Structure 1
Amino acid sequence: MSTVGVALPYPILSPLFIDGPVNGFTHWLGLDPKLLLGIAIALNPLGILLGSVVLGPMSDRYGRRRIMLGTLTLAIAGYALSALALFGENYPLFALARFATGLCEGNAAIARAIAADLHPQIDKTRSFSMVNAALYIGWLVGPLLGGFLMPFGGWVPFVVAAAMMLPALTLLAWLVPNTGAKVDLSGRGWITFAREQHALRLLDDVEVRRVFWLQLAFTFGLNGFYEFYPLWLVEFARLGPSGISWVTAGLCLLMTLMSALVWPRIGPRFAPLAAASTTAALAAAGFAVLATGARLPGLAVIVLLGLPLAVYGTSMPVYWSQRFDRHGQGAVMGLLSTTFCLANVAVALIGAALILLDTRLVLALSALACGLAAWRLAALRRDGRAAAATV
């Protein structure tokens, strides 16, 4: 339910800025609507980035449920503020609200840490697949609702998004145990703890740093797809909010089916790195097709990409959780989310410039980034097998 709230406004931003009315919101200070769209897209993941850096490690100390409750409450307030800004056609307030909401949405790392806490009672491939399936269901339902609510006003989806998070807040307080909490005898306050124990400290580990860079390359390509395929659909497939919602629903449906029904059964048979390298290569090929601008093949590819992306989305968290458990699951999942958000911010900023030239350039760059990641993942796998053979 929380993810439905996050995903619900997703399909409205591109049509709002590109095909929306000419007013003080879509043409604030006389700036190009595409530039304003890029800034609005970038600020939310920038907030998620900063939140991911500290929320995961904080859950290792204060407990998963406690941090989740606080962040969900603040996210509800952020969506209400976004709705108010849209209703009043106040772009600066909207940008501020999107950034503040993003700070709280960095709690996805905590959900994955809870899944890791369930091991060995539940196999990690299965638990991470279930978490991802729940996320994908949210991305399936949310954009559909957003697309259908758009005709009632751009601010309406944000109000509904806030309302959708209220049941999630209730269930979290009622059902989820406060796992991960530890006694800290140092007497440090939470601000000091966040400053000293943030997820980026894991990069001092050479092995973590190597995997971080290839993961950053893949998530750069992935975010280029996620952030700009709605604009591709507007420009090259000539779809509106409802059409974008249906395509997104197809994509998320395949991701959900793969994560909930298929991969939990067959995934444990495959090494995480082998699955990740193969699916990264498939993603690169799909993004390359979109870069051609071909309408019908592009529509099919966007939906079918749900299969390899779902497998990759489970395989890498399993690898990170198993390989770097010594650093604490909250911190490890926090760094994984931070990597995604760093790439998201970079793509939004670079993409905001590239779409002024041609939207297809972003997708071509995404294909290159995922191809690089696939190559490095294959090399990492070979190195691992070579090291095992010498033992």
Structure 2
Amino acid sequence: MLTVFLDLLGLGIVIPIAAPLLLTPGEGMLPPDYGTGARAIVLGFLLGIYSLAQFFGAPVLGALADRHGRRKILLLSLAGTAAGYLLFAEGIARQDILLCFFSRLLDGFTGGNISIAYAAIADITDEENRAKNFGLIGMSFGLGFILGPFIGGVLANPAIISWFNLATPYWFAAGLGVVNMFVLILFFPETLQQRKTRKVSLLTGMRNIRNAFAQKRLRAIFLTVFLVTFGFDFFTQFFQVFLIGKFSFSPTDIANLFGYIGLWLVLTQGLFMRPLNKRFSSESIVAWTILLLAIVFPFLLWPARSWWIYVIVPFIALFSGITTPNLTAIISMQVPSEEQGSILGMRQSMQALAMAGPPIIAGFITGININLPILSAAVCTVAGWIVFVTLFRKPKSPPGAGGY
């Protein structure tokens, strides 16, 4: 939990920065004659390339974690994350957009931190408590998002300290990555008891997608994960652009809003997850929360005043915060313990593929209408709900339950 918290704290710190960095001509990252549409397209590719790299890297890390243990591979992943932040900060300092792209590639390829953390939780958790304990990871995620964006907004504001700028949050996040590595070395025990040798290949991600859809018991749940993630990423990746375009949000405004969303994620995990999972199965829960999430998205387009956004986003945090750990628990319960790293790496690969497309697509369609990414989020999430309620069937008995 501490590892995930520190990792997400670093991620939260840099969330408010990317959109203002590229959409503001005065920052010098792109030629001054680039219009808003062209800048949005470049931003979309910058955000999407991280997930594309993660698509290839996540299953490699998952297989390596099954072979060499969670601890070593998580340490490697954190080192890549810290290096990625350092390179991005240097790219801002040099106004070198290509270096920023390379840093996102590196961070994306090594960015399997949460997937490996899920596998470690699965190693030491029985089926009954798995969704609840995955919810603890979600709570750590939310805590990082409460503090991270707020810290990022402060560190990017030169009115507070004169030498603060948009690169400062990345330097700080890189330092957190190093701290996280030391925490891992000192306090994180190896959780994998039975290691399994798997072939490691850059094409594993493509094979995982093929295998996920080839197996009847995995096809529906992975298609659900793909569509829900695809939809949700239209919101998460380009919500900053919407806020800047419609309400003229500053980096500090964006930071405060994302911190507020993180607060609701924590409240969701702390107040609702365990009571819900005691009374209902993960399958019953997500059948409702996916639909409710899709219904809430269009409400973001209605307000003419920005304060209404603060009324709407708690519902997005609530329904997404409940959906994600329960979907992960459903996936985890499909395989025995020695295959947890691989199937959760497969999940991460599926999510990464789903996350690569929305920012790129949003970069193009934002130039047509700034509301289209939010509408796309709703449509894709509804499609995921339809797939889940019509195609997914829970196994009659859990496979390989004896290893947990």
Please, what TM-score do these two structures have when normalized by structure 2? 0.87
TM-fit CA distance, 1:170: 1.1
Q: 1:302 — aligned with what?
A: 313
Q: Of 344, 357, 361, which aligns to 1:346?
A: 357
- Aligned to 1:178, the other structure's residue is in SS state coil
1:266 equivalent in alignment to 2:276: yes
CA offsets 1:280-338 (integer angstroms, 9 cap, x no match): 11111111222446444444212331111110011111111112337711111112212
- Aligned to 2:239, the other structure's residue is in SS state helix
Q: Of 75, 80, 91, which aligns to 1:85?
A: 91
Q: Of 150, 160, 166, which aligns to 2:178?
A: 166
Question: Contact 1:248–1:303 (CA<8 Å) still a contact in 2?
Answer: no
The verdict on how the C-alpha distance between 1:290 and 1:191 changes in structure 2, with shifts beyond 3 A counting, is same
Q: Which runs of 5+ in 1 are unaligned?
A: none
Q: Of 126, 129, 133, which aligns to 1:123?
A: 129
Distance in 2 between the 1:266 and 1:278 partners?
12
TM-fit CA distance, 1:172: 1.0
TM-fit CA distance, 1:29: 8.9
The verdict on how the C-alpha distance between 1:376 and 1:33 changes in structure 2, with shifts beyond 3 A counting, is same
User: What is the correspondence of 1:318-337 to structure 2 with a 5 Å cutoff?
Assistant: 318-325=329-336, 328-337=339-348
The verdict on how the C-alpha distance between 1:368 and 1:8 changes in structure 2, with shifts beyond 3 A counting, is same
- Aligned to 1:119, the other structure's residue is in SS state coil
User: What is the correspondence of 1:237-248 to structure 2 with a 5 Å cutoff?
Assistant: 237-248=247-258
TM-fit CA distance, 1:197: 11
Distance in 2 between the 1:376 and 1:269 partners?
24
1:67 equivalent in alignment to 2:97: no
Q: 1:153 — aligned with what?
A: 165
Aligned Cα root-mean-square deviation (Å): 2.6
| Aligned residue type for 1:340 | Q
| Aligned residue type for 2:181 | L
Distance in 1 between the 2:144 and 2:328 partners?
19
Q: Of 128, 132, 141, which aligns to 2:138?
A: 132
Q: Where do 4+ consecutive residues of structure 1 move more than 6 Å? A: none
TM-fit CA distance, 1:65: 0.4
CA offsets 1:236-258 (integer angstroms, 9 cap, x no match): 22211111111111111111111
Distance in 1 between the 2:350 and 2:196 partners?
27
TM-fit CA distance, 1:18: 1.9
Distance in 1 between the 2:236 and 2:7 partners?
19
Q: 2:232 — aligned with what?
A: 222
| Aligned residue type for 1:82 | F
Distance in 2 between the 1:262 and 1:243 partners?
28
Q: Of 376, 379, 391, which aligns to 1:368?
A: 379
The verdict on how the C-alpha distance between 1:294 and 1:107 changes in structure 2, with shifts beyond 3 A counting, is same
TM-fit CA distance, 1:125: 2.1
Question: Contact 1:292–1:360 (CA<8 Å) still a contact in 2?
Answer: no
CA offsets 1:222-271 (integer angstroms, 9 cap, x no match): 11111111111111222111111111111111111111343123323211
Q: Of 218, 221, 242, which aligns to 1:211?
A: 221
Aligned sequence identity (%): 22
Q: Of 228, 234, 242, which aligns to 2:244?
A: 234
TM-fit CA distance, 1:191: 4.6
| Aligned residue type for 1:263 | M
Question: Contact 2:60–2:200 (CA<8 Å) still a contact in 1?
Answer: no
Question: Contact 2:66–2:338 (CA<8 Å) still a contact in 1?
Answer: no
Question: Contact 1:125–1:268 (CA<8 Å) still a contact in 2?
Answer: no
TM-fit CA distance, 1:199: 4.1
Q: Of 18, 26, 31, which aligns to 1:27?
A: 31
Shifted more, 86-95 versus 172-181: the winner is: 172-181
The verdict on how the C-alpha distance between 1:121 and 1:281 changes in structure 2, with shifts beyond 3 A counting, is closer
The verdict on how the C-alpha distance between 1:380 and 1:21 changes in structure 2, with shifts beyond 3 A counting, is same
CA offsets 1:336-377 (integer angstroms, 9 cap, x no match): 212221111010121111111122111111101111112222
Distance in 1 between the 2:204 and 2:297 partners?
38
TM-fit CA distance, 1:175: 1.8
Distance in 1 between the 2:347 and 2:148 partners?
24
Question: Contact 2:156–2:169 (CA<8 Å) still a contact in 1?
Answer: yes
Question: Contact 1:144–1:242 (CA<8 Å) still a contact in 2?
Answer: yes
| Aligned residue type for 1:66 | K
- Aligned to 1:284, the other structure's residue is in SS state helix
Please, what TM-score do these two structures have when normalized by structure 1? 0.90
Question: Contact 2:282–2:329 (CA<8 Å) still a contact in 1?
Answer: yes
How many positions carry a matched residue from both structures?
A: 382
Question: Contact 1:293–1:360 (CA<8 Å) still a contact in 2?
Answer: no
Q: Which runs of 5+ in 2 are unaligned?
A: 1-5, 158-163, 398-404
